[in-house]
Amino acid sequence: MLTAVTDQQPPIEDFDPAFTARVTELLERVEERLHEVAAANTEFVTQASRHIVNAGGKRFRPLLVVLAGLISPNLDEDAAIRAAVVMELTHVASLYHDDVMDEADLRRGAPSANSRWGNTVAILVGDYLFSRASRIVAGLGPDFVELQAETFSRLVQGQIAETVGPLDGEDPLQHYLNVVADKTGSLIAASTAFGGMVSSLPAGQLKALTAFGEEIGVVFQLSDDLLDIESDTSGKTPGTDLRAGVPTLPTLLARESTDPADARLLELLNSDLSDDDDLSEALSLMRAHSSLAKARAEVNRRAEVARSFLAPLPEGSAKQALSALCDSVIGRSV
């Protein structure tokens, strides 16, 4: 299972105060609406469906809807708030299902829904939130419904591909990158697309925003891969994915090595790393291995590719904030 991407906002406080105030106000309205729509007919379902929403998160997908929408002066604020809620509900719903498949005990520092109420309730609550997102998106129009459906299709296909693993003869690295694009890139791409759609941006600019969202979504997951190896000072426990045997960009690159000097590292990557000493040794070898530098270079390259997609967009604080996001992704992975 892909680890959850750590949410990271661009430093919007560095921009025009009026722009910052407007972004903040819109996100506050999104937050209020999220709690409203997560309610149900019974207190039990309401409590369960608000469980992850109440646990926090930086609302990265709603932020992208808002920033993309503010590219144009014609933002429909009500539609933007509904679109942002749809994106966050879809994301949160997928987390309920992810935790069941991962048998996770914690989510955002709190007991996961599945550990608190059991797998069946967690799955059904995820379904409930998907249904709430579907009802809201229906009010935005058929183009929004179509994109939401296509995004959900990609999320599911990415999860299936990850669960099954690479097929015989399939390149494991390319398989992983495809999974990242479907599971992470697709929803972030839909977020930037929704932002452009609620502002009625022309087709060329909408295409640029969608491409940016897809690429920066992949960059976010790949930068998280680096943190699993390098995270002594980031707050993330290093080696979590490594110990669980979760494929990441650095480990997949390391597995491609045919150098006899890497025999011990490959032995550890193929072994049970539940022992703390073995994990520590594996981390030390990975940190010294060329695959880590290659992975970091790939994150940097993709962040610049994402930035390049912003070129057709009009200049302004919103475009600057989206560009700053590329820098913050790089900053958290070095």
Q: pLDDT tens digit string along 242-300?
A: 998 989 999 999 999 999 999 999 999 999 999 999 999 999 999 999 999 999 999 99
d(CA 83, CA 248) in angstroms, rounded, equals: 31
Element (H, E) at 47: helix 43-49
The superfamily in CATH containing domain 16-201 is Farnesyl Diphosphate Synthase (1.10.600.10)
> Do residues 221 and 158 touch, judged by C-beta distance below 8 A?
no
d(CA 282, CA 41) in angstroms, rounded, equals: 50
Q: Where in the chain is CATH 1.10.600.10?
A: 16-201, 212-333
> Do residues 126 and 97 touch, judged by C-beta distance below 8 A?
yes
> Do residues 67 and 196 touch, judged by C-beta distance below 8 A?
no
> Do residues 273 and 264 touch, judged by C-beta distance below 8 A?
no
CATH hierarchy code of domain 212-333: 1.10.600.10
Say yes or no to pLDDT of 39 above 60. Answer: yes
Phi, psi of 282 (to 5 degrees): -65, -40
With 0-12 / 13-18 / 19 or more C-beta atoms within 10 angstroms meaning exposed / middle / buried, residue 52 is buried
Question: How much is the pTM?
Answer: 0.90
CA distances 87 to 18, 26, 226, Å, are 25, 15, 26
Q: pLDDT tens digit string along 202-253?
A: 999 999 999 999 999 999 899 989 999 987 644 457 888 899 898 999 999 9
Q: What's the confidence (pLDDT) of residue 13?
A: 54
